[in-house]
Amino acid sequence: MKTSAELREQKKPPASPRTTRPGRLGHTRGRGPDALRGGAAGPGRVRTGELRERKMAHHGPGRLTTLVRWAAALLLALGVGRALALPEICTQCPGSVQNLSKVALYCKTTRELMLHARCCLNQKGTILGLDLQNCSLEDPGPNFHQAHTTVIIDLQANPLKGDLANTFHGFTQLQTLILPQDVSCPGGINAWNTITSYIDNQICQGQKNLCNNTGDPEMCPENGSCVPDGPGLLQCVCADGFHGYKCMRQGSFSLLMFFGILGSTTLSISILLWGTQRRKAKTS
C-alpha cells in the first residue's frame, strides 16, 4: 500500500527536457559569451580580476622600493664622481682651508661658493680661491696652472724659492696674492695697486692691466693688440684674419699645407734612415 507522499510524487507530470536554440554569434541562450571559452560567466572572472589586483598590489611597492634604491645608488655614484673629479691642486696639500684664512672668508662671504679641500669652488667646479699656506712648498708645483681662474691665492708660510714672475702666466683674474714676507710680488709695484708687507707675510692687492698702463703704443705690431696675461705679464694677439710673425700674414693659417710639409719631411727622413741602416746591415 502506497503512502501519501508516494501518491503525490506519482501525480507530478514528468519534467520535459530543456531545449536550447542557437542564439546570436553562436552563443546558447541562458549562457553568456564565456560559454565559448569553456568557462562560467560571473564569479570566475571576478575571482581572476581579484587575483590580478592582489598580485599587482603585492608587487607594486616592491618595484617602487627597487627604483628608489637604484636612484639613491645613482646619486651616490654621481657624488663620488664629483669628489673624484676635484682638481689635483686642491688636494696637493693635506688638510682643509683654515676658518680664519682670507680664502675661507672670501668663500663664505660670496654667494654660491663652496670650500673643498684647499679650494674655493663655484657650482660649476671652477677654482676661485686657493689656500696652500703652510704646505712646505719650495715651488707651487706642476698642477698650479689648474688654478688660473682664481681671484685669491694664499701661499704664505712656505719656503718658496726662485722667481715667481713666470709662475702666474694666465692668472688674469687674480686680485689678491698672499706670499711669504721674503718673496716679492710677481711683476713688482708696476703690476699691483698696493703691496703691503707684514711681519709674517706680504699681500699683493689689485692686479693692474699693463696694456692700459704702458705708454708705448708700438709694443704690439700694427695688426695685433695687447692682452694681459697675468701679474706683470702681457701678450700680443693677432687681429682676426692675420697670423704669423708680427701678425704680418693675412688670411687663415693653412693646416693642410702645414701637415703636408711636415708629413713629407718625416717620410723622407724615415726612408733615408732606413736606407742607411740597411747598408750597414749588408756590410756587416
Give the SS3 label for residue 4.
Answer: helix
Residues 114 and 176 reside in one and the same domain: yes
Domain assignment of residue 253, given as a range = 213-263
Residues 185 and 249 reside in one and the same domain: no
Low-confidence residues of the chain: pLDDT under 50: 17, 19-46, 57-58, 77, 80-84
- Number of domain units in the chain: 2
Provide the pLDDT for residue 130.
97
Residues 147 and 237 reside in one and the same domain: no
Residues 194 and 110 reside in one and the same domain: yes
Provide the pLDDT for residue 145.
96
Residues 102 and 191 reside in one and the same domain: yes
Q: Catalogue the long-range contacts made by 221-224 (C-beta closer than 8 Å, 24 or more residues apart).
A: 221/246, 221/247, 221/248, 222/247, 223/247, 223/248, 223/250
Q: Is residue 117 part of a domain?
A: yes
Provide the pLDDT for residue 22.
47
CA 166 to chain centre: 30
Residues 200 and 236 reside in one and the same domain: no
> Whole-model pTM above 0.85?
no
Residues 174 and 223 reside in one and the same domain: no
Residues 106 and 178 reside in one and the same domain: yes
Residues 189 and 232 reside in one and the same domain: no
The average confidence (pLDDT) of the chain is 79
* Domain boundary residue, one of 170, 192, 208: 208
What Rg, from alpha-carbon coordinates, does the chain have?
43
Q: Is residue 149 part of a domain?
A: yes
Residues 226 and 198 reside in one and the same domain: no
Residues 178 and 237 reside in one and the same domain: no
